[in-house]
Amino acid sequence: MTTLNNLNKIDAITKEKIAKWQSNSFDQDTNKTLTALIEEGKEDELIDSFYKDLEFGTGGLRGIMGVGSNRINKYTIGMATQGLSNYLKANFPNEQIKVAIAHDSRNNSDKFAKITAEVFSANGIKVYFFSALRPTPELSFAIRHFNCHSGVVLTASHNPKEYNGYKAYWNDGAQMIAPHDKNVITEVQKITQVSDVKFTPNTSLIQEVGSELDELYTNQIASLSISKEAIQRQKNLKIVFTPIHGTGITVVPLALAKMGFTNVTIVEEQSIPDGNFPTVIYPNPEEADAMSLAVKKAKAIDADLVLATDPDADRVGIAVKNDKNEWQLLNGNQTGTLLLHYMIKAWKDSNKINGKQFIVKTIVTSYLMDKIAEANGVNCYNTLTGFKYIAAKIKELEGIEQFIAGGEESYGYLVGDAVRDKDAVAACAFIAEMTASAKDKGISIYDTLREIYVKYGFYKEKLISLTKKGKSGAEEIQELMKNLRNTPPTLLAGSRVTKMMDYDNHLETNLVNNSTSKIDLPKENVLQFLTEDGSLISARPSGTEPKIKFYVSVNTSLPKKEDFDAIDNTLNQKIDQIIKDLNL
């Protein structure tokens, strides 16, 4: 029979971790599963499950569900919550600490949410506990509404079904950034045994939250509407909505109704929350497969707009008709450009722009948004990837400048500042309003996008994700970044690389004259390369998935709308050449 000592691929430190999990401190199911993995000699799985502890990344704690310190389970959830409890008590002494907790439709999310609530309450912390699944942005709203010190939502966003996660929030309703994220991990690392976790709940400290908050949340969204008359005239706009088996079903239809839309068709096959996501490969509105049923329904009823939210309803994907009357999916940059352009133009038309308004985006999101903002007297700020940095900029400028909207290329957008995370519920409402406003003027959303390209420049982006799983994958990603940093590309698609921005070292290097300047953003392992003709290529290991992502952005002018297809083809060829030059 194979024992732990017989498994030669596993190093001593990892074996020590595994042995600790075989103790009586862990339940019988954990011991049984672990014993089976050892007896079956599944060394690679054991290494990946124990070689490190889960850490907070751009999306908090996220990983595959299962046994181990590098997995999502009741113990890693419990330890994270105990560490967060200890940190909260140290930061807010002599206060009744309050937290809010929500969860999505994923398998075990409700169970993990309950464990989280129990550990918080066992530590004397008041818990506002959503009695049923709710979107992540509503959790952010709840933190601010109840004046909480922190909050947690159990979700793995758009990841495959075997994943789950734990997003931790601070008292501003935003995901944690430095120093809080690292400090919480430090507190978690102090917990060396499961007995350090207080699992026995104080139920008197747990208060359920129901549909009453849905009303407040959606009322707040509707109060931001800026084209009420256009909606009234276009209230019968045919909208197809799918929550892709997630939480969007709980409040997106309500928000659309409060905005004034009366003709919303739900994709029935995807309307019931289900953590197995039976109709899709990935529950991600970035994937054409996940949108296919909604587009099919849109064709059948001759709809005007398709909206799709991911499982925790913080991301939204859309489909619109193009100039050939064919349904076309828009990417995150296109949707974000349209939404921010609509909001800025509406504010400008209402004479609300006086130079103290701003939008926020990330460094890997289309710089077309920067051009639109600048041309209309609106400030545009760029942050590191992760909506928590956008929220941090909103907080920094409170009382100084007025936030209009923000967004990132990965299908996350925010309108108004009552929520401090990407908000697909509000985004759905305002994408619908934007579509109604365009239709009221006799123009389609697709034509609006082409008009933006004519006026401000045609920007085209593509994302390439390389998946590298496990310990060996993480090492491979590190080596790839090291090579790019030490030997940057010199020529991409025939254009000289003129600048390298190294966010890990806070350094921008002019590759033509070797001069350097400081980058004033937090530290992150991201590299960007700018070419002479304005192309921008970014390399970034994901903070939440075993991937390294490359973002390629190219641009040129679009003389007139009729030239769109030809210029689009030229830009696609340029992107393909850049990818080839990078050996991706």
Catalytic center residues? 157
Phi, psi of 366 (to 5 degrees): -50, 130
Q: Report yes or no: 572 and 460 within 8 Å, Cβ to Cβ.
A: yes
Alpha-carbon distance of 278 to 240, in angstroms, equals 20
User: Could you say which DSSP state residue 72 is in?
Assistant: B
Rounded CA-CA distance 116/110 in Å is 10
CB 581 within 8 A of CB 492: yes
Instruction: Using DSSP, state whether 321 is helix, strand or coil.
Output: strand
Torsion on CA atoms 138, 144, 146, 151, rounded to nearest 10 = 70
Contact in structure between 561 and 450 (CB atoms under 8 Å): yes
Handedness of CA 392, 393, 394, 400 (dihedral sign): positive
CA distances from 84 to 117, 151, 229 (A): 12, 10, 47
For residues 27 and 21, what is the distance between their CA atoms, to the nearest angstrom? 9
- Is the distance from CB of 478 to CB of 485 less than 8 angstroms? no
Q: Please, which residues have CB within 8 angstroms of residue 269's CB and are 6 or more apart in sequence? A: 279, 293
- Dihedral sign (CA 355, 356, 357, 361): positive
Do 434 and 342 contact (CB within 8 A), yes or no?
yes
Provide the b/e sequence for 126-158 (b: ≥16 CB within 10 Å): bbbbbeebbbbbbbbbbbbbbebbbbbbbbbbb
Which residues make Cβ contacts (< 8 Å) with residue 327, sequence separation at least 6? Answer: 295, 298, 299, 306, 319, 320, 321
Residue environment code for 36-56, b if the CB has 16+ CB neighbours within 10 A, otherwise e: ebbeeeebeebbbbbbebbbb
| Contacting residues for 253 by C-beta, under 8 A, at least 6 apart | 241, 264, 266
Provide the token pair at 535.
């192309």
Q: Are 104 and 246 in contact (CB under 8 A)?
A: yes
Contacts of residue 389, Cβ cutoff 8 Å, sequence gap at least 6: 177, 362, 383, 522
Token duo for residue 301:
């009823």
